[in-house]
Amino acid sequence: MALRKLYRSYDIAVLDENSEYLGVSRTLLMENAGARVAHVVSEVEGGVEGKKVLVVAGPGNNGGDAFVAARHLAGMGARVAVILLSTPERIRTREARDNWSILERMCMTVERHVAADGRELMELKQLFGSADVIVDGIFGTGIRGEVREPFKTAISLINSSQARVYSVDVPSGVDPDTGSYSLAVRPHITITLHGPKPFTSVPGVQSGQLYVEEIGAPPESELIAGPGDLSYVRSRLGVVGAATVRGSGMPAEGARDALTALGIKSRIKEFTGGLVVELDGLTVTDTPTPTQAGVSIFVLPHPSPRHGEALATAQRVGRPVYLLGGHDRMSDGSFEKSNWIEPEIVSPYHRGVVSGLVAYFAVQCGEALYCMGAACYAARAALRGGGASSREAYLERLKVIIG
């Protein structure tokens, strides 16, 4: 069930990892994706038995989805040929490698080819000309920059063929987040997975008829503050300045210690009006103020926030809000997340850690919901594995989790 209207590439990366956190493996998601692609191809073609299907696959997870589709299409009676636009050793993920290995064993029903450069690919040109159907699994949501060989030649051969072309998730060559491209596949049909991507709303992008297919990611993968949030935020981290922590007692110490553990110089200024963390122009506070001027994010203690309460609060105050208590609930005013798996934060010291982490992540990331989600997951997960035994053990575990 897609909860967003449009899914950016990093939204998909977050929900993939959070799905695995919830017990739905990336292998299963890939299996479901490839099966749905094969189902759409068969449905549109009115069956594929006896038809020549050429699957053109890159070395990433888009190619892995295409490998799975090839297996299912072979099971439906299609005459399947697969071209890997790389070498087996350079397939990037375990899931995609495993599915290529399965095809290597399907020597009776799947014809396999490897083309690591344009010359090797041109030797397979006749496959493009004789195909009834081509499945484009070259690039997915990871495409960035100029299209190079052998992908450039593959796209040209696909576009010049007479086959019906199906693109997996996004027409290869199109940036899924912006719709920009220099050279791209022009499919008759695009089968986008889990939910629509931003390119689908960009005028001028030739994506053909659009199918949106569910791949079995739990709805909770978008609702939980999990390791996917942290991975995304971690990919955006850089260098920040010194922090000022205004407060007293354990909350101020927690915020200071968390920031110090992450290499941020920080000092406490005694203040009895709550907790305020200031970092590079961003302000996080745990106290509602008469005016929200200068406040970036509220991290507010709450005994047991209800579902939807953080969303309503964020919409009311016009700022991202983290309600700290129970499962913790956080919202950027559009969506809400929480965590019901990791240990609950009850200590004032650990609550201060959350405020410090929110400031540290948010000043660098810009996506408030994922920043708060990352802080929630990291602060709570650090309480496992002996992290609750002492401040020192907790901070060491926190550093390991954040990396």
Pick the CATH number of 9-218 from 1.10.10.60, 3.30.830.10, 3.40.50.10260, 3.40.1830.10: 3.40.50.10260
Q: If pLDDT is split at 50, 70 and 90, which confidence band does 61 have?
A: very high
Instruction: Please report the pLDDT score of residue 287 as a whole number.
Output: 85
List the domain boundaries for the chain: 9-218, 224-402
| Amino acid symbol at 343 | P
The position carrying tokens 């038809």 is 51
Residue 145 has pLDDT above 80, yes or no: no
In whole angstroms, give the CA distance from residue 258 to residue 392.
Answer: 11
> For strand 329-331 and strand 336-338, is the pairing parallel, antiparallel, or unpaired?
antiparallel
Q: Are 350 and 379 in contact (CB under 8 A)?
A: yes
- Please report which helix (H) or strand (E) contains residue 95, including its range: helix 94-105
Mean pLDDT of 257-262: 96
Q: Above pLDDT 70, what percent of the chain?
A: 97
Instruction: Please report the pLDDT score of residue 1 as a whole number.
Output: 57
Burial 145-167 (b: 16+ CB within 10 A, else e): eebeebbbbbbbbbbebebbbbb
Residue 291 has pLDDT above 60, yes or no: no
The model's pLDDT over 85-130, given as tens digits with 9 standing for 90+, comes to: 999 999 999 999 999 999 999 999 999 999 999 999 999 999 999 9
Instruction: Please report the pLDDT score of residue 346 as a whole number.
Output: 93
Residue 289 has pLDDT above 90, yes or no: no
Q: If pLDDT is split at 50, 70 and 90, which confidence band does 366 have?
A: confident
Average pLDDT over all residues of the chain? 95
Instruction: Please report the pLDDT score of residue 385 as a whole number.
Output: 87
Q: What is the DSSP letter of 201?
A: G
Q: What is the pTM of this model?
A: 0.94
CATH of span 224-402: 3.40.1190.20
Residue 358 has pLDDT above 60, yes or no: yes
The model's pLDDT over 175-219, given as tens digits with 9 standing for 90+, comes to: 999 999 999 999 999 999 999 999 999 998 999 999 999 999 999
Distance, first Cα to last Cα, the chain: 32
Mean pLDDT of 298-320: 95
Q: If pLDDT is split at 50, 70 and 90, which confidence band does 152 have?
A: very high
| CA-closest candidate to residue 121, choices 90, 154, 152 | 154
In whole angstroms, give the CA distance from residue 171 to residue 187.
Answer: 7
Integer-rounded Cα radius of gyration of the chain: 24
Q: If pLDDT is split at 50, 70 and 90, which confidence band does 142 have?
A: low
Instruction: Please report the pLDDT score of residue 293 as a whole number.
Output: 62
| CA-closest candidate to residue 76, choices 124, 126, 133, 130 | 133
